[in-house]
Amino acid sequence: MGFGPLLLLAILEGAVTAAVLALTAVGLSLTFGIMRVVNVAHGEFFMLGAVLAWFVSQWFPDAPLLAFLLAMVVCPLVVAGVAVLADVLILKRLHYEPEATIVATIGLLYIFQQAALSFFGPNARPVAPPFNFRVQLPWFGYSGYKLFVILAAGVLLLLVWLLITRTKIGLVMRATQIDRTTAKAFGINVDRVYAMTFGIGAGLAAIAAVLVVPIQQAHYLMGGDPLLLSFIVVILGGLGSLRGTLIAALLIGLLDGLLSTAFFFPPTFAKIVATLLVALVLVFRPEGLFGRRTA
């Protein structure tokens, strides 16, 4: 394969990574931006989505398309439900105090991992893709499902954007983000906004996992990488800024595709550089690479 087609392949692979990452990271960014909660269990919501998608696929072994469509609806709803419960039962009672919520979400991380290990088992399990067709390009064939993932993630992100900017729910969420006390004074039920935000954030991670699980297998420890990458993206984009998160996800995803597909960069070394970079960005440019300095 010549360099041009290889580059195209790398960009396609990068776009798939970026699409899934953007969905997951926007979920994390929402909870951080609106609730000021650093959700360490976010990666586990992703993992739960993937594991649940496997269970759904076992109900309909002969109809992968039906199982996929069902999983797209059921998994995010179940995971969002779990998240709302966690918010009402734990985070709310901690009054969203940053240190306590971090410790509590670390606890949740272990509880979810153990639940998955006990009920799902220690092995990675594949989920059949809903459809199998290859898009034949002049140089290579490319999985049609992966192209669908990019498209679906784009549509979902558009829906999130519409929800935040064009609906009453979004307006209430933004008001709570800007000033919690004033929002309360204007009769907004802040508790309900927080529970809903936490649920939506977790649901986005779950739906990203449902999309990715036919490409990557479901495993009880799969939440680590999405968590780390989402953190990286949210921090580079500027904590709490949705637009920054999207740009950073695109950048990191494409970079990942280029480095691993076209230049055969050792992934561990790339991860070391990326984590150190994030730490240094937080130290020297806490508003993120694309954020504006605010008082």
Question: Residue numbers of the site for other proteins (CB under 8 A)?
Answer: 38, 90, 93-94, 98-100, 102-104, 106-115, 117-118, 228, 231, 235, 266, 268-269, 271-272, 275-276, 278-280, 282-284, 286
Least distance (Å) from other proteins to the CB of residue 41? 10
User: Beta partners for 125?
Assistant: 218
Q: What is the rounded distance in angstroms from the CA atom of residue 234 to the CA atom of residue 26?
A: 8
Least distance (Å) from other proteins to the CB of residue 257? 20
Residue number, 145 or 231, with CB nearest to other proteins: 231
Least distance (Å) from other proteins to the CB of residue 258? 20
Least distance (Å) from other proteins to the CB of residue 106? 6
- For residue 164, give both structure tokens: 């935040």
Q: Compute the C-alpha angle 37/42/48, nearest 5°.
A: 145
Least distance (Å) from other proteins to the CB of residue 34? 15
Residue number, 60 or 96, with CB nearest to other proteins: 96
Give which of 14, 131, 158, 19 is closest to 65, Cα–Cα. Answer: 131
Query: Is 20 in contact with 213 (CB distance < 8 Å)?
Result: no
Query: Is 13 in contact with 200 (CB distance < 8 Å)?
Result: no
Residue number, 150 or 270, with CB nearest to other proteins: 270
Residue number, 27 or 43, with CB nearest to other proteins: 43
Residue number, 93 or 134, with CB nearest to other proteins: 93
Please identify which residue in the block is written with the tokens 């935040």.
164
Q: Is 124 left (phi over 0), alpha (psi -120 to 50) or beta?
A: beta
Q: Is 129 left (phi over 0), alpha (psi -120 to 50) or beta?
A: beta
